[in-house]
Structure 1
Amino acid sequence: MTLRLDAIALRHRNGAQALHHVDLNIAPGERVAIIGPSGAGKSSLLNLFATAFAPSAGQLDVLGQRPWQLSSRQRQRLRARIGLIHQAPPLPPRQRVVTAVLAGQLGQWGLGKSLLNLLHPVDIAGAQAVLARLDLADKLFDHCQQLSGGQLQRVGIARVLYQAPELLLADEPVSAMDPRLAEHTLSLLCEHAVQHGVTLVASLHTVDLALAFFPRIIGLRDGRVLFDLPTAEVDPRQLDALYANEHLTPTAASQSHPTPGLPRC
């Protein structure tokens, strides 16, 4: 299993209980969407997968290893095999886009190559190629502060694609994009996962995107898994229960149709 969670709980340092007794198994190469209302624990779960947090209780296995039984150096090597796309990528405003993308390989490079990359990009062609897939090749030497929110999200995605991880995690990766661009970007992520045998787990607020692009849906609410089903088995009643008492209840999403003409995976 790529990910195995056995009775996992997570309590943050401020005392907030983010996850309660979560059991999950995600196999290599699966593409899974996590949906649920704000505050459901989606980001906490992804950060747990990324080994940014240690569980408060239960057993976590990531890529066949138990992260919190490893030494710091071993855990760092494990993290180099995991890519996390942030909703708001932590990109320094004055950093050039090419440098931001190439930083995806810092976990694999030695200190000398990493320092050299800060002075002169060591793989301009590689950075440009991955940016071209996201329609950003013309932004190669721009500074991050010159980009829009959606462009910054795509630079963050490019950095993780350049990293080439075995486990690809995406936390609301298209929240700042218009609908057409969001569909194109999710299609690209799914195609990358299929082509390279990568496990892809994404949290999404937009239910119709989750249903359109992912074969498996996990519904999370109040830190608990309400359902874990193949997409074809998710029905409006389950979505109603998942988003009960929310101001925006996306039950209609289960009957919506994605924009035609874009590839699915």
Structure 2
Amino acid sequence: MTLNLEAVGLRHANGSTALREVSLRIAAGERVAIIGPSGAGKSSLLNLMATGLRPTAGVLEVLDSRPWQLSARQRQRLRARIGLVHQTPPLPPRQRVVTAVLAGRLGDWSLAKSLINLLHPLDVPGARAELAKLDLADKLFAQCQQLSGGQLQRVGIARVLYQRPELLLADEPVSAMDPVLADHTLGILCRHASEHGVTLVASLHAVELALAHFPRVIGLRAGQVVFDLPAGEVGSELLDALYANEQLASPPVPQPAAVPLVVQIPRC
């Protein structure tokens, strides 16, 4: 079992509750999409799965380990087996793309090797191969600040593909891409997961992409699981309920008050 969550809750330091009683089991090699309205807790759930956040209630198991019962060193080794694609990749503006991609292996490299890689990229062919899959091979030696938002997201994906994690988590990985490119890029991620037996969990705003690329879809709202179903069973009624928002309902348009008609009679 890659992921096991039992009644997991997450409360942030400011007192707000992000997740409530979340129970999920995701097997090795599964491809799962998480959908839901803004503020539903999708990013918090992915960061918790990546061991970036510690649950405040319940039980979390990742790759057959309970992360918060491990030592700091053991937890770091566990994190090297997890790849996280951020919606906005944390890439320094002046960093070269080749260095950003090769940083995917930092969890496996010694400090000395990591420092050498900053000055002299250690695996240029490997970085180029991953970028080529995403049509970015020509940006190998460009600086990150020279790229568009969609190109930066693809660099972040190339970085995780180069990492070769066992668990791949993606938080809105194609939000800055046009629909055609987003569909193509998700296809690459899903194909990589299928070919390498990688467990893939992605949060997506675009419901049509979730239904097209992922066999299993989880609906999240207000920090709780609303449904967990095969994609083929997710219909319009479920989606309407998931995204319903009374606060966004159009208020009735006020009608102008009737103005009494005053007729001026000219004086003779």
TM-score category, normalised to shorter length: over 0.9
CA–CA separation in structure 1 for the residues paired with 2:233 and 2:145: 43
Q: Name the structure 1 match of 2:139.
A: 139
Partner of 2:78, secondary structure, is helix
Q: Which runs of 5+ in 2 are unaligned?
A: 250-268
Displacement of 1:111 after TM fit? 1.2
Question: What is the root-mean-square deviation in Å for CA atoms of aligned residues?
Answer: 0.9
Partner of 1:95, secondary structure, is coil
Q: Name the structure 1 match of 2:201.
A: 201
Q: Name the structure 2 match of 1:42.
A: 42
| Mapping of residues 43-192 of structure 1, within 5 Å | 43-192=43-192
Once the two structures are superposed, what CA deviation does each residue of 1:5-46 show, in whole Å capped at 9, x if it has no partner?
001000011111000000000000000000000000000000
CA–CA separation in structure 2 for the residues paired with 1:43 and 1:112: 33
Once the two structures are superposed, what CA deviation does each residue of 1:95-117 show, in whole Å capped at 9, x if it has no partner?
00000000000000111111110
Q: What is the TM-score of this pair, normalised by structure 1?
A: 0.93
Q: Name the structure 2 match of 1:31.
A: 31
One-letter code of the match for 1:86? H
1:225 aligns with 2:229: no
Displacement of 1:167 after TM fit? 0.1
CA–CA separation in structure 1 for the residues paired with 2:16 and 2:101: 34
CA–CA separation in structure 2 for the residues paired with 1:150 and 1:95: 17
Q: Which runs of 5+ in 1 are unaligned?
A: 249-265
CA–CA separation in structure 2 for the residues paired with 1:15 and 1:167: 30
Query: What is the number of residues matched between the two proteins?
Result: 248
Partner of 1:13, secondary structure, is coil
Partner of 1:52, secondary structure, is coil
Once the two structures are superposed, what CA deviation does each residue of 1:82-140 show, in whole Å capped at 9, x if it has no partner?
00000000000000000000000000011111111011000000000000000000000
CA–CA separation in structure 1 for the residues paired with 2:176 and 2:184: 13
Once the two structures are superposed, what CA deviation does each residue of 1:166-196 show, in whole Å capped at 9, x if it has no partner?
0000000000000010000000000000000
Partner of 1:175, secondary structure, is coil
CA–CA separation in structure 1 for the residues paired with 2:13 and 2:82: 24
CA–CA separation in structure 2 for the residues paired with 1:101 and 1:45: 25
Displacement of 1:235 after TM fit? 1.0
Q: Name the structure 2 match of 1:9.
A: 9
CA–CA separation in structure 2 for the residues paired with 1:59 and 1:48: 11
Q: What is the TM-score of this pair, normalised by structure 2?
A: 0.92
Structure showing greater radius of gyration is 2
Identical-pair percentage: 76
